[in-house]
Amino acid sequence: MFKRMPGDEPHRIVSTTPDTAVVFKPAVVRTPAIIALVIFAARFVAGLVRLIWRHPVALAVIAVPGALCFVYGWRVALLLVAPALAGLGAWAVLDRPTFTRWVGWRVTAFVRWFWIYRRHWQPVMTVSGLARHIRGREYVPRLVKVTSDSWADRVTVRMLDGQAVKNWTDRIENLSHGFGSETCRVSVAKAGRLVLTFPRRDPLATPIPALPIPDIPTVGPIEIGKLEDGSPWLLRLHGTHVLVAGATGAGKGSIIWSAVRGLLPAMWAGLVEIWALDPKLMELSYGKALFGGRYAADPADCADLLDEAVSVMHKRAARFAGVQRSHAPTLDDPFILVVVDEVAFLTAYQSDKQLRQRISAALATLTTQGRAVGVGVLAALQDPRKEVMNIRNLFPDKIALRLDESEQVDMVLGDGARDRGALADLISPRPERGAGVGYVRLETSPDPIRVRAAYVSDEDIRAMVGEVR
Ligand SMILES: Nc1ncnc2c1ncn2[C@@H]1O[C@H](COP(=O)(O)OP(=O)(O)OP(=O)(O)O)[C@@H](O)[C@H]1O
């Protein structure tokens, strides 16, 4: 029985059952064949022009030999193409970086555009719910272009009108599995356009050995390990504060020790001092000799050391007032990095309330006023909940290593970080695969970056201590 519909709707109903929605027959406008053919031809030409415009090098590499073969036969084509191939081969051998930049990655991008993204685009968009059916017509987001480099493919997408970035970030699993990648990162290129990053390989899959100690004293940025594209991960410590959160065994120690290692020449030159707070009596005690007496493990001693740092900070602020607005490390005013391992031992799990309040106040003072006068804090903790670490928002730069729960990711990196691809709760608990792997969110960028810290072993720490002695 048809439902009674208002106006002239009922005559367009083509099917209906009691338990499904009413389906309407779309209005059909009869178009003359010639117009349809002209539209198809225009679309084909536009598509061809777009293809040539987007992939000129890849098309030339593939189409020119094919055309020569077709026109002159394979012998002549081979004769003509051989010198060009020899030239390309020589280019690849003699100057690999420029060859890969101009030819290699363009051909890769074209092949992947054709074979992976173009081929699977419509099914993936439809199944993941990013395409829309409206009045019998299917609207699919447009695949604008694909670029490739040694690490990943970057797919530029034109969203459907009315779509939000969240529609895409909610479907990163559908997208990554749909296009055969382990992960997918979504970033905004401009209004209405997104860039989806699909890594093809993982340079962070194996542990990175301790990096060499720098030859030149530097206060940073310090090389800590690798970024997900295989390039060096440089972490700024001077002029900021860094919070590292990670479950037990996530590799927090490797970030702390890589930072200490990178600052070592500057420490020897007197431009940096590291003040170490080690309430667990584990991580930093190993390299106690490196900290020149500025080491505390007992909570009361930690509070004293923090108060001393606050006092240095105030004295500097008084001296700098009206004279300089930022700090440059000198022998008189070195950069002081206060390193706190498992800060929650001092701020949340400390039973002495007075001590706890003193420590929390000192840390809050340092993190709000210290960076302009050359006092920075590098703190590590396991549990990022607000009850445990109520000053976590005072740290401009944050690193999330492996975390136990997905909600903790946004607690550390800020709202929306997990949606943007910071899957810190999915990092492998196997140390060789996941220790030291994490996501960084810098003050200057909303997009989290995947990183892995180099592993500074006990041997390496012993060697560093030996060098100091
Ligand atoms: N960057 C790394 N690369 C490879 N393996 C690592 C790395 N960092 C740590 N590991 C391995 O993981 C183990 C645990 O690391 P670590 O003790 O530093 O973690 P943690 O986060 O400090 O843990 P906890 O909070 O329990 O002290 C180490 O014994 C080491 O074998």
What ipTM, to 2 d.p.?
A: 0.95
Strand partners, 400: 245, 439
Nearest of 403, 407, 468, 387 to residue 439 by alpha carbon: 403
* Rounded Cα–Cα distance for residues 451 and 224 (Å): 9
Rounded to a whole number, what is the distance in angstroms from the first to the last CA of the chain? 93
Query: What confidence score (pLDDT) does residue 65 get?
Result: 83
Q: Does the C-beta of 299 come closer than 6 Å to ligand 1?
A: no
> What span, in angstroms and rounded, lies between the C-alpha atoms of 57 and 409?
42
| H helix runs in 131-251, sequence order | 165-169, 172-178
Nearest CA residue ID for atom 13, ligand 1:
249
Q: Read off the pLDDT of each residue in 271-300 and give the average, rounded to a whole number.
A: 86
DSSP string covering 334-379 = -EEEEEESSTHHHHTS-S-HHHHHHHHHHHHHHHHHSGGGTEEEEE
Quick check: CB of 257 below 6 Å from ligand 1?
no
Is 251 annotated to bind a ligand? Reply is yes
pLDDT at 302 over 70: yes
- State both tokens at 309: 């740092």
What per-residue confidence (pLDDT) applies to 30?
80
457 CA distance to ligand 1 middle (Å): 9
Helix count and strand count (H, E) for the chain? 15, 18
Model pLDDT, residue 1: 43
**Is 230 annotated as belonging to a binding site?**
no
Q: Give the relative orientation of helices 33-54 and 56-72 as an angle to the nearest 10 degrees.
A: 110
Pairing state between β 142-148 and 449-453: unpaired
Write the burial class of residue 304 (CB in 10 Å: 0-12 exposed, 13-18 middle, 19+ buried): middle
Q: What is the pLDDT of residue 390?
A: 75
- pLDDT for 218 equals 86
pLDDT at 235: 92
Q: Is the CB of 285 under 6 A from ligand 1?
A: no
Residues 6+ apart with CB under 8 A from 215: 265
Give residue 62's pLDDT band: very low, low, confident or very high (50, 70, 90). Answer: confident
Asked if residue 164 has pLDDT above 90, the reply is yes
Per residue in 244-281, pLDDT (tens digit) is 999 988 999 999 999 999 999 999 888 999 999 988 87
Q: pLDDT band for 320, please (50, 70, 90 cuts).
A: confident
H or E element at residue 292: none
pLDDT given at position 445:
73
What's the token pair of residue 157?
């997408």
Q: List % helix, strand, coil for the chain (3-state, nearest 5).
A: 45, 20, 35
Digit-coded pLDDT (tens) for 390-404:
778 888 889 999 999
CA of 259 to the centre of ligand 1 (A): 15
Locate 464 and state its tokens.
């560093």
Q: Does residue 16 carry a pLDDT above 60?
A: no
Task: Tell me yes or no: is domain 33-199 CATH 3.30.980.40.
Answer: yes
**Is the torsion defined by CA of 123, 127, 128, 132 positive or negative?**
positive
The burial class, CB within 10 Å (0-12 / 13-18 / 19+), for 109 is buried
428 lines ligand 1 (CB under 6 A): no
The band of 297, judged by pLDDT with boundaries at 50, 70 and 90, is confident
CA of 235 to the centre of ligand 1 (A): 19
Domain ranges of the chain: 33-199, 222-468
Q: Helix, strand, or coil here: 77?
A: helix
Mean pLDDT rounded to a whole number for the chain: 86
Beta strands 132-134 and 23-24, pairing class: unpaired
Q: Is it the case that residue 316 has pLDDT exceeding 80? A: yes
Using CA positions, which residue lies closest to atom 6 of ligand 1?
435
Fold for 222-468, please state it: Rossmann fold (3.40.50)
Q: Is the CB of 371 under 6 A from ligand 1?
A: no
Burial of 126 (0-12, 13-18, 19+ CB in 10 A): middle
Please report, rounded to a whole number, the percentage of residues in the chain having pLDDT higher than 90: 38
Instruction: Check if 252 has its Cβ closer than 6 Å to any atom of ligand 1.
Output: yes
Residue 336's pLDDT is what?
92
What integer is the mean pLDDT of 437-445?
83
